[in-house]
Chain A
Amino acid sequence: MNVAVDFKNVDIVFGPDTADALAMVDRGATRAEILEQTGNVLGCAGANLTIHEGEISVLMGLSGSGKSTLLRAVNRLNIVSRGQVLVKDGEKMVNVVSCDAATLRRLRQNQVAMVFQQFGLLPWRTVEENVGLGLELAGVPDAERKARVDKQLKLVNLDPWAKKYAHELSGGMQQRVGLARAFATEAPILLMDEPFSALDPLIRTKLQDELLQLQKTLKKTIIFVSHDLEEALKIGSHITIMEGGRIVQTGAPEDIVLRPANDYVRDFIANVNPLSVLTAWNVMRDRRDLESAGRGWTWLDRRKTTRFKVDKDGLVAAAERDGKPVEWVSCTDVEQHPEDGTQVYWANPGTPLKTVMLAMHRSQTAPVALFDEQSRFVGAIGVRDVLSAVLRR
């Protein structure tokens, strides 16, 4: 996969004289120490992060953790004190930190669009004039601009409001205008700085869903700043957690939930419902770790109630439960089978843990098998695996 944005050892220090502060950063000083001794504010330190095309990469952290600071380095709204921020510009990568004003402007007009927490709409302009701002600044001819604006307004269902002024709309609608304005430039990279934080929870959920829906077809590279882990887990394909200006952990959502790097991350995930992120893959025991039942048979559970006979291609040839032969069925249609324990359910690696638990419930706590795409047996999930994942023990 191609790299869209690459942060390389990025330090951002706010203040008149940053040399001393940067020396302290090298010694690993904290933000408070740097502020006290040099009067400079550490925005972020030693940030290394690679974002690939088509990803939704979420920067997470409490306020003041440096997540917005890092995001705003991508289009140089914040000046990087040291390090490189490489942004894909057609076939090559441009270092935003050192590029000239004309290049920066071209990047901002064509490559990187932005959505703001407080919307950043111009109140004296109508919705369509706001959406067309980026195109207008880039000097796109009127007719083409009108066509592209109309297309974007339709995309976010704003076309009936095109002639209204931005301030006449509700918060949710205003942020739709903000989204349309960012989409209108057709920039492949989208920076979203807590775009939904100012909205009430119902609207927030709705816009998150809409964004995910749009992303399926648009396939932008999105860098998304959030302080809300539920939001990050919902929309992020990768999550980066920041604390005090430094990156603490980067990984897929379930990595963060299952293997928090330190107490700060652990605090973050303490209130997260693990069922919303975990999949069968995250909790299963690998086939090689299962106990053999002899003569090609394998126990699926520790209690030894259920076993599979697996052939040399990895496919299941026979299944037994409590000594009686049973059939094996997919747990996606668990509702259609009786609750009598006459079958063993199987799941795919991507099946949500919730579905796996339902299958267990319906089969009197029988283990659930895991098949890969080619229907090969790859592992099993017992009751104890589920409990330890949910309780994070």
Chain B
Amino acid sequence: MDPVSKFLAAWKIPIGAWGKAFFTFLTDHFNAVFRGFSNGLNFLLDGLVDALLLLPPVLVVALIALLAWYLQRSRALAIGVFIGLLFIINQGLWKQTVETLVLVVAATIASMAIGVPLGIWAAHKPKVYRVMLPVLDLMQTLPTFVYLIPVLTLFGLGNAPGLIVTIIFVIPTAVRLTHLGVTSVPKAIIEAGEAFGATKSQLLWKVELPAALPTIMAGLTQCIMLSLSMVVFAALIGAGGLGTEINRALGSRRIDLGLEAGLAIVVLAIVLDRMTRIGVGDKK
């Protein structure tokens, strides 16, 4: 090795050690807080799953198909949703699907609830967005396994840490698409609002958000898809669902099991995507 490289290697910056120290500090001093939060969240998610599993699967499937019809006014879609979900029951994956569904819906709702206001804030304050941008990049590009470890130490095993890693991965998309939607509202209509005496909040609710709605709704669909893609990783830290099946299939080289669970995820993805395309169809 050349002397410079040798010198550099000898003086390694202890980033890993600092990170570890930071998380040790958190677990040492705030363990009760994190565990309490985690337990509460687990209780909520598990309760929801149990409640859904109490009902006959076919009834839940019918209700979801009805919801699909209500959202999109499309009979074909409702029938498609119904058949797709019956296929999942047929494959014996209903329980896992409900677990995944609860996780995905919860992660999407939480991500949108946090991401949309952040996106609006960033759109109004370019400086905020400049600070936010590298953080968002970090959240999206840092390999998922890397933050599985600290989440695991802080929150333990279960649905709650699964939900949290999913939210970390998904929020940037909600923020980015909301930011995009709000910043690309045509200047002409914002000025029209101002010229007729809109207050800041009237401008937001009556001009900016309706104009940005199609983009925000595209963000919602994206959030759902990304949450689904995290299912397998979340299962590694104890979130149940279809991801668990896939991990098990991988561990025991069960092609059949992997195929079944994989197809169930695809079906779920298509169902959720088609059901949430609100606004896109309305615009025409």
Contacts and interface: CB of A to CB of B under 8 A. Distances in A.
A193 to B, nearest CB: 9
Contacts, number: 65
Interface in B7-25: none
Contacts of A137: 193, 196-199, 202, 206
Q: Interface size for chain B: under 10, 10 to 19, 20 to 34, or 35 or more residues? A: 10 to 19
Given A122-B207, A122-B211, A136-B206, A109 B188 contact: no
Interface string B184-199: 0010110111111111
Contact of B192 (A105, A106, A120): A120
Contacts of A113: 195-196
A136 to B, nearest CB: 7
Query: What does DSSP make chain B's interface, helix, strand, loop or mixed?
Result: helix
Contact of A119 (B188, B197, B198, B211): B188
Nearest to A111: B197
A187 to B, nearest CB: 9
B210 interface: yes
A120 B191 contact: yes
A221 interface: no
Contact of A109 (B196, B206, B207, B283): B196
Contact of B188 (A104, A120, A136, A191): A120
B204 to A, nearest CB: 13
A116 B188 contact: yes
Given A136-B206, A137-B206, A122 B189 contact: yes
Contact of A122 (B192, B195, B199, B283): B192
Contact of A105 (B189, B191, B197, B206): B197
Contacts of A181: 196
Nearest to B210: A124
A104 B198 CA distance: 10
A185 B210 contact: no
A191 to B, nearest CB: 8
Contacts of B186: 118
Contacts of A138: 196-197
A108 B192 contact: no
A138 B186 CA distance: 22
Given A105-B199, A116-B188, A137-B202, A122 B210 contact: yes
B194 A121 contact: no
Interface string A129-141: 0000110111000
Nearest to A135: B196
Contacts of A40: none
A152 to B, nearest CB: 14
Contacts of A99: none
A118 B194 CA distance: 15
Interface of A: 75, 77, 104-110, 112-114, 116, 118-124, 133-134, 136-138, 181, 185, 191
Given A116-B191, A133-B206, 18 more contacts: A77-B191, A104-B197, A107-B197, A109-B197, A114-B192, A114-B195, A114-B196, A119-B188, A120-B195, A121-B189, A122-B189, A122-B207, A122-B210, A124-B210, A124-B283, A134-B196, A137-B193, A137-B202
